[in-house]
């Protein structure tokens, strides 16, 4: 009988949690729809747009601000209630979905490459039934290739993880301009 009541309580909790999460997502989606201003980042022919509700990291007058973009006016943005002048933004870090997917693919590929290199190193140790010259050649060649492949895999995993977790930074010193833009 106690298991049934525990199941009922757990089910009720999960349903309530999903309802709260879904309702919150709907409120954010409605806010994005009604607001007609986005923060645009432009460099040469590249343009990125950031909507209200996006999590951002902003470097502004030597300080770092991390939070959600609350509001955008023609000259200022608000990040978790902090008013920041657009013209004084030094750089901005954002995780876009495409960037996260790219990071995940690169990181996962790196893990697979590392597994292959490790397999080669382990396989190099199996010299049973080979004469001394063949065994030595197998150990040296497979171990060398395994180490090189592991180095490439670990580097790829590190790059993928940094792209996935950190995102991309847009720096004013590298030519990126930040402006508020009306959208339709």
Torsion on CA atoms 34, 59, 61, 31, rounded to nearest 10: 10
Q: What is the pTM of this model?
A: 0.56
Closest of 35, 38, 59 to residue 48, by C-alpha: 38
Its CATH class, for the domain covering 36-95+170-184, is mainly beta
pLDDT (0 to 100) of residue 18 = 54
Q: Percent of the chain beyond pLDDT 70?
A: 80
Query: Once rounded to an integer, what is the mean pLDDT over residues 167-173?
Result: 84
Average pLDDT over the chain reads 81
| Residue-range domain boundaries for the chain | 1-34, 36-95+170-184, 99-165
pLDDT beyond 70 at 32 = no
Q: How confident is the model at residue 7 (pLDDT cuts 50, 70, 90)?
A: low
Q: Could you tell me which residues are beta bridge partners of residue 33?
A: none
CB within 8 Å of 139: residues ≥ 6 apart = 124, 125, 127
State how far the alpha carbon of 163 is from the alpha carbons of 30, 98, 108, 133, 182, in Å.
30, 10, 12, 45, 30
Mean pLDDT is lowest, of 2-11, 75-84, 88-97, for 2-11
Could you tell me if 111 and 157 are in contact, meaning their C-beta atoms sit under 8 angstroms apart? yes
pLDDT (0 to 100) of residue 141 = 93
Could you tell me if 48 and 41 are in contact, meaning their C-beta atoms sit under 8 angstroms apart? yes
Query: Once rounded to an integer, what is the mean pLDDT over residues 46-61?
Result: 88
């Amino acid at each position: 009988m106690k298991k049934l009541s525990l199941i009922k309580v757990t089910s009720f909790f999960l349903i309530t949690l999903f309802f709260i999460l879904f309702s919150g997502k709907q409120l954010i989606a409605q806010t994005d729809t009604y607001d007609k201003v986005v923060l645009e980042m432009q460099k040469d022919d590249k343009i990125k747009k950031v909507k209200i509700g996006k999590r951002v990291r902003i470097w502004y007058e030597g300080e770092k601000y991390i939070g959600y973009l609350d509001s955008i006016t023609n000259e200022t943005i608000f990040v978790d209630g902090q008013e920041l002048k657009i013209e004084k933004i030094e750089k901005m870090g954002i995780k876009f979905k495409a960037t996260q997917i790219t990071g995940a693919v690169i990181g996962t590929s790196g893990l697979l490459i590392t597994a292959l290199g490790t397999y080669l190193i382990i396989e190099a140790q199996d010299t049973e039934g080979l004469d001394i010259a063949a065994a030595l050649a197998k150990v040296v060649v497979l171990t060398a290739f395994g180490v090189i492949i592991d180095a490439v895999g670990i580097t790829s995993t590190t790059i993928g993880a940094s792209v996935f977790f950190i995102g991309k930074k847009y720096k004013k010193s590298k030519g990126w301009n930040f402006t508020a833009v009306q959208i339709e």
